[in-house]
Structure 1
Amino acid sequence: MEYHTMKLLVAAIPLLAGAWICFPQQAHSQTVFQLTVKDHHFEPDHITVPAGERFMIELNNQDTTTDEFESYDMKFEKIVVPQGTIKVHAGPLHPGTYTFFDDYHPDEAKGTVTAEEKK
């Protein structure tokens, strides 16, 4: 290895270590909400989450067709194959009610998320 390349690598080590210290993994774990889509319906079709906090929705597709888990309100869309499971990160949300649906079966598979202030 050339002298200049080695010098650059040695100089970069403290910078990389500093970046790891300054940008640690998320300090607290996200709450995970389990949903299932079966017969083109979500079970449950409503969840309540804490306002102002990030959370994760884990969706298991028990349909025999591919579904597209989508929410305009929460700004996500993700394909889930038959018998597959996906995870979607969402929030933090202001207090209120937000909709989600299966874009391939929007009249059947739909649900809501309500974000509530902690009491």
Structure 2
Amino acid sequence: MRFVMPRLACRLLAAVLLLASAGALAQELPTFNLLIRDGHFVPETIEVPANTKFKLQIRNEGPGAEEFESVELRKEKVLAPGASSFLIFQPLKAGTYKFFGEFHPQTAQGKFIAK
């Protein structure tokens, strides 16, 4: 009987955690798409909701590698040609936040506008 109670408690805890994670999945993050094409970001400006966590889905359609980078947001992601990936951003205060392509810094310029 001694060993039954801890097993039951573990099963109950696992059930509670499973339900909690299912609830979190039901609340999908707002997702925004960004293409990297010929050394440019498309679109160059992305409006995101202020004070809301969000996901940025990135796809590199260019012939070479490119790196998404934002110094002020402390985010970077290198993508090979044809690769896709994503970044999760914590809630941003209202304002403008710049990002750029490390491999094409003159042409690959963009910004988030949090409203």
Report the AA paired with residue 63 of structure 1: G
RMSD: 2.3
Report the AA paired with residue 55 of structure 1: F
Aligned-residue offset at 1:9: 3.9
Separation in 1, partners of 2:108, 2:8: 55
**Structure 1 gap segments, 5+ residues each:** none
- Asked if 2 retains the 8 angstrom alpha-carbon contact of 1:100 and 1:112, the reply is yes
1:61-100 → structure 2 map (5 Å cutoff):
61-100=60-99
Q: Deviations over 1:47-99 (max 9, x none)?
A: 11110112221111111111111212223211211011111121311000001
- Asked if 2 retains the 8 angstrom alpha-carbon contact of 1:74 and 1:91, the reply is no
Aligned-residue offset at 1:41: 0.8
TM-score (normalised: structure 1) = 0.79
1:16-27 → structure 2 map (5 Å cutoff):
16-23=14-21, 24-27=23-26
Separation in 2, partners of 1:4, 1:67: 59
SS at match of 1:12: helix
Identity across aligned pairs (percent)? 31
2:50 match: 51
SS at match of 1:17: helix
Which sits farther off after the overlay, 34-43 or 19-28? Answer: 19-28
Aligned-residue offset at 1:26: 4.4
2:115 paired with 1:113? no
Aligned-residue offset at 1:6: 7.2
TM-score (normalised: structure 2) = 0.82
Give the count of matched residue pairs: 114
